[in-house]
Amino acid sequence: MTKTILTVDDSRTMRDMLRVALTGAGFNVVQAEDGVHGLEVLAQNSPDVIITDINMPRMDGFGFIENVRRDQRCRVIPILVLTTESDAAKKARAREAGATGWIVKPFNTTKLCDAIRRVAG
Amino acid sequence: MEGMDEIRDTFFQEAEELLGELERGLILIQEGDRDSETVNAIFRAVHSIKGGAGMFELDRLVSFAHAFETVLDDLRSRKIGLEANGLKTMLRSADLLSDLVRTARAGEEMEAGREAVLMAELAALSGGVADAAPSAFDAPELPAGPVSRLYDIRFTPLAALYANAGDPALLVRELHRLGTATVSCDASHVPDLSELDPEGAYLSWTVALETTESEDTIREVFEFVEGDCILEVIAGEPMVVEEPAVVEEGDGFDVAALLARMQAELGDGPAPEATPSPFDMPFAPDFSADFSNVVDLADMRPVETPAPSPAPAVEPVAAPVLAASPAKTEESKASSAPAPAAGATIRVDLDRLDRLVNLVGELVINRAMVAQRVVEAGLSNTAAVSVGLDELEQLTREIQDNVMALRAQPVRSVFQRMSRLVREVGEAVNKQVQLVVEGEGTEVDKTIVERLTDPLTHMIRNAIDHGLESPEKRLEAGKPLTGTVHLSARHASGHIVIEVSDDGGGLNRPRVRDIAVSKGLIPADAQLSDEETDNLIFLPGFSTASTISNISGRGVGLDVVKRSVQALGGRISIASRPGRGSTFTLALPLTLAVLDGMLVTVADQTLVLPLTSTVETLKLKPEEIHALGSSKLVTLRGAFTPMIDVGRHFGYRHAPADLTKSVGLVVETQGNTRTVLLVDEIQGQRQVVIKSLETNYGSVPGIAAATILGDGRVALILDVDALVSEASASASDFSFAIAG
């Protein structure tokens, strides 16, 4: 069963990167450009995993995760946060907001797939 | 990763845009904007550049962006305030960041240590030493321990783990990857259903893991759930070789049985709550062999209002939202394109666009040819075919306009670069300058946008260096200390008009004139209007700066600006008011694919002259023509102007043109030089589609390009500059004749 991944990132580079890496690894990819857009896309798709950036215009990653976790339909979807920092405080904050795990940028395909496997099999 | 080159291009494109946003944001802040969203936006810009740069291992870019970002992060969280000094550091950091991006894009290396000073300043701003940037890639995994150990792992998830969509089954499976695991689940704390909190955490696991991996690696498996579970890892003694451990079934805990029990209770008991509260309770799955089973079970968790139905228990659960059936996959594929948001864009290869532009050019020509045939066939204007052709013309024109618009881009990208220039030049010459920009959204052909940088850079440098007075003089004149340079763009009658104006002292006309005379550019007794005097500064060899500064003294004069503008089919002029300032006006065509041409006949050939270089037409009188050696001169309002017989020059005929039947076209070339071109007849003005002669035939001196006329014949487009310099090279130099 092909897994569908929703990626939410305002950077075109990062979106392309995620798309190429994930499609290459055999995932189905759905993309959004910020939190608000992410919720819109989520309303029409049922991804198996969500990967989101934190710093985004309109609605940031924390706000996006909170919204997803409030939604009865989506609250059980594992969410991975993209972060450039590997310090504990940032990770704790992501987890507090409801993230299931994180991926530290820069990532490669292996790192990406490892993280997905760890939260979604 | 595949497609990295393309993504690299995307990264640099995006980085340029982000640098633009950064610049814009900083300028807003400089102007007093204290909106937190502005600070957020510039933080995001730097952050995104850093993130992207990391993917391409551009380490210097990453570390500088990191230092910069740290300050911006402090600023947005209000840990630090913003002072003028700080803003200056940030503006300079933005400049350096853009230099780093550009050198990285070109694959070059910036000279070592250029960041050092700014890094220190940035660190001082954020009140400490900038922490080291994350390394480009994670440290390699720890090497596997040489010996195998048996670890006793006890793992009890807390409710928070489930709330964050964590799944113990997956963690256990990760442990399986590390070695041989014996798993047992303790379900003894699961209460009766009546007391069961669907979101509670009741299960715990014990895993006996035999692995050569270190304890750290094992703990890493639980990295995501640290704090959301109780975890114990007890390392045993190194093991001697043992028989392969048999994975046991989990402690007699039967999922099917539990489900059956629940179903039964639900069926008998009170109706489930109206809210479709998902049973977020993980069931201890059967870990023994078939893992796909586990996944399926996991997928069943978000049960929507479990229907009370008889056994088999596992089946009847209402279609789980997450268990994507094949049909569902199709559906999500179909809808995977994000909902079309306003301002959605698509990236198209420039080559394809150019091919389209070319094809439309062909279409325009083809239509004209058909129209010509219809006229030749003697059909009247009211014939159905003529009416149809008129409609076709309307359509092709619209298509042409629209296709041209595809290549159009706002001049913003170029305008943005100017604010940095203004800062740097202002600092270099010790003048306070503010740049006011208008109409940066005005669109023009991409090629023109790209070629605008040089002339604009020069005009702005000139405006600051020569236009604006020194601070002392400004105060004397009762002007504000800070000089203003206006940069604006607007559309006007099929052209884009760009103006650069300053509120400085204006041109010193007597001095301009003196210099022109002393350099032999004009005769001492030349009668010039104010406007003509002002435009003397575009002459080659003219420079008003008495001391050559490193700003404008680069050996490039305004004549070069004028030439590059003309090469784009545009014109440049200056208007100056003493004491009030000067305005450079640049008028450029909106596209380079179409030319406004003047069609003329020379020895039965049709030639096209760019309208921009044509100044006036005149009927020649024999008494105005003077022979000078092999060449001829025309007296034009008292000034001698060289004359070129176009037909003879190109070898269309050997006999001189019959002056009584000829027309003179006054053209203006480099450095305001005027020349009279002798042609047989003027056919009129027309827009022509430019066809490259070089790609289709070869380069011909004096010919810029070709076009195809309505009758299908090829007409050559003259390169007036080349034609004139070529002709004057064979004759003597009449540079004094420019005063016309």
What are the residues whose beta carbons fall under 8 Å from the beta carbon of B489, sequence distance 6 or more? B411, B415, B438, B439, B440, B442, B444, B496, B497, B498, B499
Q: What is the pLDDT of residue B258?
A: 57
Residue B174's nearest CA partner among A90, A25, A118 is A118
pLDDT digits (tens, 9 = 90+) for B443-465: 888 888 888 888 888 888 888 88
3-state SS class at A2: coil
Q: Are B281 and B196 in contact (CB under 8 A)?
A: yes
Note the ipTM here: 0.79
**H or E, element range at B683:** strand B681-689
User: Which residue from A28, A76, A77 is facing B333, i.e. has the nearest CB?
Assistant: A28
Q: What is the pLDDT of residue B510?
A: 87
Residue with tokens 């200390």, as numbered in its chain: B481
With cut-offs at 50, 70 and 90, classify the pLDDT of residue A21.
confident
Which residues numbered 98-117 in A keep a CB inside 8 Å of some CB on B? Answer: 98-102, 104-109, 111, 117
Residue contact A119–B167, C-beta within 8 A: yes
In the predicted model, what is the mean pLDDT of residues B200-213?
81
Q: Could you give the count of Cα atoms lying within 13 Å of B81 in the half-sphere of its Cβ?
A: 2
DSSP summary character for residue B442:
-
With cut-offs at 50, 70 and 90, classify the pLDDT of residue B297.
very low
Residue contact B7–A13, C-beta within 8 A: yes
Give how far B16 is from chain A: nearest CA, Å.
12
Residue contact B278–A21, C-beta within 8 A: no
Residue contact A44–B339, C-beta within 8 A: yes
Q: What is the pLDDT of residue B29?
A: 85
CB atoms within 10 A of CB B393: 15
Mutate which of B223, B299, B304, B332 to disrupt the A interface (most A C-beta within 10 Å)?
A: B332
Tell me which residue range forms the domain holding A87: 4-120
Q: What is the pLDDT of residue B146?
A: 55
Q: Return the minimum-mean-pLDDT range out of B187-201, B256-270, B698-712.
A: B256-270
What are the residues whose beta carbons fall under 8 Å from the beta carbon of B652, sequence distance 6 or more? B602, B603, B604, B605, B646
Q: How far is CA B581 from CA B463, B468, B483, in A?
A: 9, 8, 10
Residue of A nearest to B37 (CA): A57
Residue contact A13–B52, C-beta within 8 A: yes
Residue contact A16–B6, C-beta within 8 A: yes
Give how far B311 is from chain A: nearest CA, Å.
26
Residue contact A84–B338, C-beta within 8 A: no
Q: What is the pLDDT of residue A51?
A: 93
With cut-offs at 50, 70 and 90, classify the pLDDT of residue B330.
very low
User: Which residue from B14, B298, B322 is facing A13, i.e. has the nearest CB?
Assistant: B14
With cut-offs at 50, 70 and 90, classify the pLDDT of residue B679.
very high
In the predicted model, what is the mean pLDDT of residues B632-649?
85
Return d(Cα B611, Cα B87) in angstroms, integer: 48
Q: Return the minimum-mean-pLDDT range out of A73-77, B146-150, B308-312, B735-739.
A: B735-739
Peptide bond just before B312 cis, omega within 30 deg: yes
Q: Return the minimum-mean-pLDDT range out of A10-19, B204-213, B383-392.
A: B204-213
In the predicted model, what is the mean pLDDT of residues B306-330?
42
Q: What is the pLDDT of residue B600?
A: 93
Q: What is the pLDDT of residue B262?
A: 60
With cut-offs at 50, 70 and 90, classify the pLDDT of residue A86.
low
Q: Are B738 and B539 in contact (CB under 8 A)?
A: yes
In the predicted model, what is the mean pLDDT of residues B531-557?
63
Residue contact B51–A106, C-beta within 8 A: yes
Residue of A nearest to B66 (CA): A84
Residue B164's nearest CA partner among A104, A50, A59, A69 is A69
Residue with tokens 């586990």, as numbered in its chain: B294
Return d(Cα B313, Cα B263) in angstroms, integer: 7
A1 touches chain B (CB under 8 A): yes
How do beta strands B149-157 and B639-645 pair? unpaired
Q: Are B442 and B556 in contact (CB under 8 A)?
A: no
Sign of the dihedral through C-alpha B438, B441, B443, B449: positive
Q: What is the pLDDT of residue B346?
A: 78
**H or E, element range at B669:** strand B663-669
Return d(Cα B687, Cα B709) in angstroms, integer: 10
In the predicted model, what is the mean pLDDT of residues B308-323?
42
The answer, yes or no, to whether residue B289 has pLDDT greater than 50, is no
Residue with tokens 């002392």, as numbered in its chain: B472
Residue type, B523: P
Residue contact B278–A37, C-beta within 8 A: no
What are the residues whose beta carbons fall under 8 Å from the beta carbon of B629, sequence distance 6 or more? B731, B732
Residue contact A57–B40, C-beta within 8 A: yes
Return d(Cα B207, Cα A121) in angstroms, integer: 19
The answer, yes or no, to whether residue B674 has pLDDT greater than 80, is yes
User: Which residue from A14, A33, A121 is facing B170, i.e. has the nearest CB?
Assistant: A121
**Count of CB pairs separated by less than 8 Å, A with B:** 170
With cut-offs at 50, 70 and 90, classify the pLDDT of residue B255.
low
User: Which residue from B169, B275, B335 is facing A45, i.e. has the nearest CB?
Assistant: B335
Q: What is the pLDDT of residue B494?
A: 65
pLDDT digits (tens, 9 = 90+) for B510-522: 888 888 888 877 8
The answer, yes or no, to whether residue B110 has pLDDT greater than 50, is yes
User: Which residue from B4, B298, B332 is facing A45, i.e. has the nearest CB?
Assistant: B332
Residue contact B7–A1, C-beta within 8 A: no
Residue of A nearest to B56 (CA): A106
Residue contact A45–B166, C-beta within 8 A: no
Residue contact A92–B227, C-beta within 8 A: yes
Return d(Cα A77, Cα A69) in angstroms, integer: 8
Mutate which of A3, A7, A8, A17 to disrupt the B interface (most B C-beta within 10 Å)?
A: A17
A26 touches chain B (CB under 8 A): no
The total number of structural domains that make up chain A: 1
The answer, yes or no, to whether residue B481 has pLDDT greater than 60, is yes
- Residue A61, both tokens: 């990653």
The answer, yes or no, to whether residue B486 has pLDDT greater than 90, is yes
In the predicted model, what is the mean pLDDT of residues B236-265?
55
Q: Are B292 and A1 in contact (CB under 8 A)?
A: no
Give how far B445 is from chain A: nearest CA, Å.
24
Mean pLDDT of chain B: 75
CB atoms within 10 A of CB B304: 16
The answer, yes or no, to whether residue B696 has pLDDT greater than 50, is yes
Residues of B in contact with A32 (CB under 8 A): 338
Residue contact A85–B301, C-beta within 8 A: no
Q: What is the pLDDT of residue B219?
A: 79
Helices (H), B314-380: 326-334, 350-376
Tell me whether residue B225 is exposed, middle or buried, using C-beta atoms within 10 angstroms of its C-beta: 0 to 12, 13 to 18, 19 or more: buried
Q: What is the pLDDT of residue B298?
A: 38
Q: Return the minimum-mean-pLDDT range out of A57-66, B244-253, B711-720.
A: B244-253
pLDDT digits (tens, 9 = 90+) for B79-97: 777 776 788 888 888 888 8
Q: Are B457 and B415 in contact (CB under 8 A)?
A: no
Residue contact B48–A11, C-beta within 8 A: yes
Q: Return the minimum-mean-pLDDT range out of A45-59, B20-34, B82-96, B333-347.
A: B333-347
Q: Is B113 left (phi over 0), alpha (psi -120 to 50) or beta?
A: left
What torsion, rounded to 10 degrees, do the Cα atoms B53, B58, B64, B70 define? 40
Q: What is the pLDDT of residue A8?
A: 93
Residues of B in contact with A1 (CB under 8 A): 324, 329
With cut-offs at 50, 70 and 90, classify the pLDDT of residue B731.
low
Give how far A68 is from chain B: nearest CA, Å.
10
Q: Are B608 and B599 in contact (CB under 8 A)?
A: yes
Residue contact A100–B166, C-beta within 8 A: yes
Return d(Cα B701, Cα B693) in angstroms, integer: 11
Residue B217's nearest CA partner among B178, B161, B246 is B178
A67 touches chain B (CB under 8 A): no
SS3 string of B68-89? HHHHHHHHHCCCCCCCHHHHHH
In the predicted model, what is the mean pLDDT of residues A67-95?
82
| Neighbour order of strands in the sheet with B204-211 | B179-186, B204-211, B149-157, B229-238
Residue contact B54–A106, C-beta within 8 A: yes
Residue B47 phi/psi, 5° resolution?
-60, -45
A47 touches chain B (CB under 8 A): yes
DSSP summary character for residue B385:
H
For residue A44, what is the domain's CATH number? 3.40.50.2300
Q: What is the pLDDT of residue B739?
A: 35
Question: Helices B4-30 and A12-24: crossing angle, nearest 10°?
Answer: 160
Residue B602's nearest CA partner among B660, B572, B549, B647 is B647
Residues of A in contact with B7 (CB under 8 A): 13, 16-17, 20
Residue with tokens 């995501």, as numbered in its chain: B224
Count of residues making up chain B: 740
Q: How far is CA A113 from CA B332, B427, B566, B632, in A?
A: 21, 51, 56, 80
Return d(Cα B89, Cα B85) in angstroms, integer: 6
Return d(Cα B500, Cα B436) in angstroms, integer: 10
Residues of B in contact with A55 (CB under 8 A): 43-44, 47-48
Return d(Cα A15, Cα B311) in angstroms, integer: 46
End-to-end CA distance of chain A: 11
Q: What is the pLDDT of residue B457?
A: 87
Residues of B in contact with A99 (CB under 8 A): 164
Q: Return the minimum-mean-pLDDT range out of B77-86, B318-327, B516-525, B718-727.
A: B318-327
